[in-house]
Amino acid sequence: MRVLVSGASGFLGSALITTLAGSPANQVTGIYRILPAITDGPPKHAFLTGNLVPNEDWSCIPRFAHALIHTAARVHKLADTAADPLAEYRRINVDGTLNLARQAAAAKLRRFVFISTIKVNGECTDPGMAYSADDVPAPSDPYGVSKWAAEQGLREIASRTGMEVVIIRPPLVYGPGVKGNFRSMLRWLMRGIPLPMGALNNRRSFVYLGNLIDLIVTCVDHPAAANQTFLASDGEDMSTPELLRRMGLALGRPARLISIPTSLLKAGAAVFGKADVVGRLCDSLCVDMVKTRQMLDWKPSTSVDRGLRETAESFLLETRN
C-alpha cells in the first residue's frame, strides 16, 4: 500500500511514518517543508518537499497512490502574533489544504485522510454531554473555523472528483514528545509546584498518540470510512485533577493540588491574560465515539495509564539528556 504523509516532521506525522514504514507491505512517502538530515543509515521511507500554501505545485505527488494522510497545518496558538490570525489560518489550513487535495485528486489518489480538530464541534461541552461526529459544527476560534472551512472544501472536492475523504477530529493528543499545555503540566509536576486545580469537577477527553495513529491507519483502507467524519479519544474521560494525579504517578512525583473555587481561578486567569489557558483546564470537553466504534469496529488499544507512562518515560529521558 502506497501512502503519503504530510507534516512528516511534526509530532503526529513523524510517529505515523514510523508506524507505517514498520510494515513491509507499505511504501511510505513523507512530505516535508525541508528535507531532513539522514544520520541513521538508509531511510525507510521516501521524501517529498513542499509548502502548504495556496500556489504550491504538487506535481511531484505519485499517481495512483492509495492515500494521503494530511497532518500538516498551521496549529493552534494561544499567543498568536499574526496581524490577522484568521486570514493566516485560512491561507494555510484552507487554501493550502484544498490546493493539495485538488492536485492529489488529479493524481488519482484514492483517499485523502484529513486530521482536523474537535474544535470544529466547539470549545466545551455541558456537564453530562459529549460531542458526536454528526453534531452541527460550532467552531469559535480562528483555528477551528479554518479547519471547518477545510472540511467543507474537501467534501466538495470529493463529490466532484470521486476521491474519498475521511475526516478525523481528535481532542488534545498526548504521547512521547508532546508539546504545549500537556508538556507544561509535566514540568509543573516534576518541579513539585502546587497547582490550584484540586476543586475542579470537569470531564475531558484525550487521545494517546498511539491510539490516534491506530485509528488513522484503520481509516486508510477501511471501506466504511469513505467520506465519513470520526471523533477520536482514549474512551476514558477524566477531570483535570484526576489527570494530574495519574500523570504524577507516571512521573513518580505526586501531584500537589490545592482546592480553589473555579470562579476564583478563572477570575485570576483573566486578570493575568491567561483565560484561554485556564479555560482549557477548567472546562469540560467530552467526545462520543459510538460512530467510530460501530462503523469501524475500532477501539483504543492502549490504556490511559499506559499512555501516560510512556509519555512520562519519554519526558524524563529528554530532561535528563
Residue 46's beta-bridge partner residues? 29
Task: Point out the catalytic residue in the list 32, 89, 131, 143.
Answer: 143
**Rounded Cα–Cα distance for residues 167 and 106 (Å):** 20
- In angstroms and rounded to an integer, the radius of gyration of the C-alpha atoms of the chain is 20
The beta-strand segments (E) located in 144-248 are: 164-169, 172-174, 206-208, 229-231
**Rounded Cα–Cα distance for residues 264 and 197 (Å):** 11
143 an active-site residue? yes
Helix H or strand E encompassing 115? strand 111-115
State phi, psi for 222 to the nearest 5 degrees. -70, 125
For the packed helices 11-21 and 209-221, what is the interaxial angle rounded to 10 degrees? 60
Question: Which residue intervals of 42-196 are DSSP H helices?
Answer: 85-89, 97-106, 142-161, 180-190
Residues with active-site annotation:
143
